[in-house]
């Protein structure tokens, strides 16, 4: 199916599968997957000023300040590849960021906000088992045969447990999500943009559920 572009935000607790699903949706809709987490981690690896500022905050499981994130996202959405649409993953995380995003995208506003719903206990289990390549950032899971020898098959780097995937940081991140990000659900619900999707099941099953929502939203608003 040849789908039109879409301007979409994907939300959910850490470990809900947002990155995996956003990547698949980006391919299905031919739009860029814009992950603020990936952009920040790249800055950390490269040792940029932003990376140095963000590392301590990210390691503690806290949110990077609004002015930093808004600037990063605004610059990214100005690129030519985002003209047809985009999938935002990791932004906005607060109502203030959502209002700033509305200003940035006033000429081409958000079509739909998808919330992936996954219980806390499943999130903790997934994140505790997650391992991330220290070179290319590819994510694996403990017990994954691809990294049985302790080497990333994509680049030769070492899969490690990120500081923010350790139990203490996970619990703190979930607390931060409930405190700061959950109000966004009410904000987008009041704008009739929010769609909650069951995040449990196979990747294919969750992907099909999200596509059905996106197709219905874009078809009902062809602009």
Told to judge if 93 belongs to the known catalytic residues of this protein, a careful annotator would answer: yes
User: How many Å apart are CA 118 and CA 137, to the nearest integer?
Assistant: 23
Told to judge if 209 belongs to the known catalytic residues of this protein, a careful annotator would answer: no
Q: Which of 24, 131, 173, 209 is catalytic?
A: 173
Told to judge if 24 belongs to the known catalytic residues of this protein, a careful annotator would answer: no
Q: Which residues pair with 10 in a beta bridge?
A: 89, 114
Q: Which of 41, 93, 126, 131 is catalytic?
A: 93
Told to judge if 131 belongs to the known catalytic residues of this protein, a careful annotator would answer: no
Q: Which of 53, 162, 189, 217 is catalytic?
A: 162
Q: H or E stretch including 141?
A: strand 139-141
Supply the DSSP string of 91-136, one letter for each residue. ---SHHHHHHHHHHTTTS---EEEEEE--HHHHHHHHHTEEEETTT
User: How many Å apart are CA 111 and CA 221, to the nearest integer?
Assistant: 8
Q: Which of 18, 76, 126, 209 is catalytic?
A: 18
Name the packing angle between helices 36-46 and 66-77 (round to 10°): 100
Told to judge if 173 belongs to the known catalytic residues of this protein, a careful annotator would answer: yes
Q: Which of 24, 126, 130, 131 is catalytic?
A: 130
The set of catalytic residues is 18, 93, 130, 162, 173
């Amino acid at each position: 199916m040849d789908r039109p572009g879409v301007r979409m935000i994907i939300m959910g607790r850490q470990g809900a599968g947002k990155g995996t699903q956003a990547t698949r949706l980006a391919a299905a809709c031919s739009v860029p997957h814009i992950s603020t987490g990936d952009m920040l981690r790249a800055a950390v690896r490269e040792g940029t000023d932003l990376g140095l500022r963000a590392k301590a905050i990210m390691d503690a499981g806290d949110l990077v300040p609004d002015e930093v994130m808004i600037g990063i996202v605004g610059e990214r959405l100005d690129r030519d590849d985002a003209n047809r649409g985009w999938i935002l993953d990791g932004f906005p995380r607060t109502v203030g960021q959502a209002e700033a995003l509305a200003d940035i995208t006033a000429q081409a506003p958000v079509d739909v906000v998808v919330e992936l719903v996954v219980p806390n206990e499943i999130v903790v289990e997934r994140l505790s088992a997650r391992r991330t390549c220290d070179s290319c950032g590819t994510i694996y899971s403990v017990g994954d045969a691809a990294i049985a020898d302790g080497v990333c098959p994509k680049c030769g780097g070492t899969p490690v447990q990120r500081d923010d995937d350790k139990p203490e940081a996970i619990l703190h991140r979930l607390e931060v999500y409930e405190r700061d990000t959950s109000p966004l659900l009410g904000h987008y619900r009041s704008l009739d943009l929010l769609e909650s999707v069951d995040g449990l099941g196979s990747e294919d099953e969750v992907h099909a559920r999200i596509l059905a929502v996106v197709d219905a939203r874009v078809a009902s608003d062809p602009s």
